[in-house]
Amino acid sequence: MLCQFIRDMLDLPAKNVTILEGSNIHVLPSMPYSAQDFYTSIDVLAELDNGTQVIIEIQVHHQNFFINRLWAYLCSQVNQNLEKIRQREGDTHQSYKQIAPVYAIAIVDSNYFSDDLAFHSFIVK
């Protein structure tokens, strides 16, 4: 069912979907665990059979900076994936070629845009 949802929403050729752990604790590298560290939790983090990842966020109540938070989740996930590649392959410029795409689907109860369109899409390449 999730696989079909992702295919329908993003038009991706997904055959299999694996649900991944979506919680992250962000530790500031200059200091041990402290009150300045923060925790994020993605509602659903899925990985397709080709390594592509999909973040699914559900926002029931209006939050002024939800779109910014969604961008932060996307950037954080890409960075986390890059760090895994660097740990596995070493820190080279070739690491950037191996970064798999990360998509986000946001299901919201409020309108965050100035129009009445039901769907909005953005691409960063």
Convert the pLDDT of each residue in 33-89 to its tens digit. Answer: 555 555 567 888 999 999 999 999 998 899 999 999 899 899 989 999 999 999 998
pLDDT of residue 84: 92
β-bridge mates for residue 40, sequence order = 24
- Mean pLDDT over the full length of the chain: 84
Per-residue pLDDT for 13 more than 90? Answer: no
Break the chain down into helix, strand, coil percent, rounded to 5: 30, 25, 45
Per-residue pLDDT for 26 more than 80? Answer: no
The predicted model gives 12-34 an average pLDDT of 69
For the chain, the structural domain boundaries read: 2-108
pLDDT of residue 22: 65
pLDDT of residue 23: 61
Q: Among 77, 39, 47, 44, which residue's Cα sits nearest to residue 58?
A: 44
* CB 11 within 8 Å of CB 103: no
pLDDT of residue 83: 92
* The two three-digit tokens of residue 7, written as one number: 């295919």
pTM of the model: 0.81
pLDDT band at residue 7 under the 50/70/90 scheme: very high
